[in-house]
Amino acid sequence: MPDVKVELKDIEGHWAKNYIETLVAKGYVKGYPDETFRPQASIKRSESVALINRSLERGPLNGAVLEFTDVPVNYWAYKDIAEGVIHHSYTIDEKGQEVMVEKLD
């Protein structure tokens, strides 16, 4: 993953500032649209799966359908959640995105 430069408004003086900046620079975490990281907030399951996928250089998965009633198709982490829960084979398309070829049991 390429190094990314993002300024986060709420990490100055936080004990994990250097760790957070490293994770942001590596592209594993992005922070929120309001340029905050919210270091004291609990991490959500959607954020967790996106972080795990990025750290493993997996997904997000295109072409999958989830059976979770609480995850709408237009949810920002839908494809990351699909990547994390569907055992599958995949190809990489011309845009460099992962596309499911077959759902495996």
**Which has more pLDDT, 20 or 100?**
20
Judge whether residue 77 has pLDDT over 70: yes
Report yes or no: 28 and 6 within 8 Å, Cβ to Cβ. Answer: no
pLDDT, position 4? 63
For the chain, the average pLDDT equals: 86
Domain region containing 101: 42-105
State the total domains in the chain.
Answer: 2
Name every residue whose Cβ is closer than 8 Å to that of residue 70 and which is 6 or more positions away in sequence: none
Residue 100 has pLDDT above 90, yes or no: no
Tens digits of per-residue pLDDT, 26-74?
Answer: 888 888 999 999 999 999 989 999 998 888 888 787 787 888 889 999 9
Are 46 and 93 in the same domain?
A: yes
Residues 30 and 76 in one domain: no
Q: Are residues 66 and 26 in the same domain?
A: no
What mean pLDDT is predicted for residues 78-104? Answer: 80
- Which is it for the CA torsion 7, 8, 9, 15, positive or negative? negative
Cβ density class 31-64: b for 16+ within 10 Å, e for less: beeeeebeeeeeeeebbebbbebbeeeebbbebb
